[in-house]
Amino acid sequence: MLLHCGKDDGVGPGRATADGCWLRGATLDSLAELNELALALLAEQAAVRCAGASTLLPPFAELWRALDGVARRRAAACPYLLLDARFGEPACWRTPPGAAEVGDAATERYTPHFSVPAATEVARLVFFYAWHLARSQPAAARLLLGMPPATIAAISRHTLRQIQALAEAHPEWLRPRWPARVQVWRELLLAAGSGEAAQLERARLRGMTLLAAEARLAAARYAVSAGSSASSSAAVSATVGAPYGQAERRATMPPRPQPG
């Protein structure tokens, strides 16, 4: 069942990750379940012609149709969420002290990437999963969702009702991860369809590398916006240009056994 993830108590089966954190098996099971829902949503949206829908989907309409249940489970086993909800924008998730509403920091409406009805429920589950990880497993939120520390802090301050209100108010925040990176998705879908282990691992590793880079960039941008010094700007360049550190390398988890 989705959201049956446990807390970082160091007890029970799990996987070692960066910073000495353990990802419990239930956390990864929930991630895979959510990814399966995401892939079903993407396939459903790909079959619909709609202005404003994600431009990622039409070029792969045939690939989405060919993705059967086994191939979908292979793709869903990626060790990161295949959807995004503006996790790299901490201001969207902040609540001013004493404010009655949430999401005031970003009042503009984004063009939705999804038009099918199933997107509303998937968005709600993504918001709740993100909130759960930010509160109970912040290291997992960083690794699996690509959240910078400022977003983790902002989301974890919300109550359950506030997160529900955000999900209802901003389903348009939901989008495919990397909607402009067509080749990344092509590699993942082809690898999932073929079931070839090395090809799948390359596709997953590429995604993890992109996610780690985006999280670092978001954190650096937030540091610059929080302080206007020239040294902060230099820090962005250093952060973005630096090679991936030991934490990101250790975060490359071995693949799950593949169905089929």
Residues 6+ apart with CB under 8 A from 68: none
Q: What is the mean pLDDT of the chain?
A: 76
Is pLDDT above 60 for 258? no
At 96-143, the pLDDT tens digits run: 434 544 544 444 567 788 889 999 999 999 999 999 999 999 999 999
Run of H or E residues at 91: helix 90-93
Is pLDDT above 50 for 197? yes
- Bin 106: left if φ > 0, else alpha if -120 < ψ < 50, else beta: beta
* Separation of alpha carbons 143 and 251, rounded Å: 7
Overall pTM > 0.95: no
Instruction: Give the mean pLDDT of 165-175.
Output: 92
At 71-92, the pLDDT tens digits run: 999 999 999 999 999 998 998 8
Which percentage of the chain shows pLDDT scores above 90? 42
| Residue boundaries of the structural domains of the chain | 22-250
